[in-house]
Amino acid sequence: VISHISTHNYGSALVWNTQAENAFVDIKQALSHACSLHAPDYSQAFHLDVDEKDSIYNAVLFKRGDDGGGSHNRKVWMHYSAKLDNVERGHPTCVRHVAAIVTQVRADLTSKLPEPQSKED
């Protein structure tokens, strides 16, 4: 559905049809199942991916998969979406994107991670 749109071609038109709607519903259903989320592995770094568009930001806390899948193989631990506040919405796009990142980090997403168990426990 979006294979013709790359990270370098955001201006490409996205045709919304039955195939796109079905793919979107499938993704939403997959994300709503507990098995789509993974328990954290503290031996690997966490990654936070934040995107902002039209004053709505989405954040995904994930770890890279270990089966050679590269950046497309993410083990999602948490996802979150929210609207920027009125002050943040008044800024240019690049500043809104930074505000989205700062807002998410300020929300201290990573502090919600459970403490790793020590080997003595």
Q: Report the helix count and the strand count for the chain, using DSSP H and E.
A: 3, 3
Average pLDDT over residues 5-33: 76
The total of other beta-carbon atoms located within 10 Å of residue 91's CB is 14
Compute the mean pLDDT over every residue in the chain, rounded to the nearest whole number: 74
Residue-range domains of the chain with CATH: 36-111 (3.10.20.370)
pLDDT band at 33 (very low <50, low <70, confident <90, very high): low
Q: What is the tens place of the pLDDT at every residue in 42-81?
A: 787 888 888 888 888 888 888 876 655 555 677 777 778 8
Average pLDDT over residues 99-105: 80
Tell me if 84 sits within 8 A of 52, measured CB to CB: yes
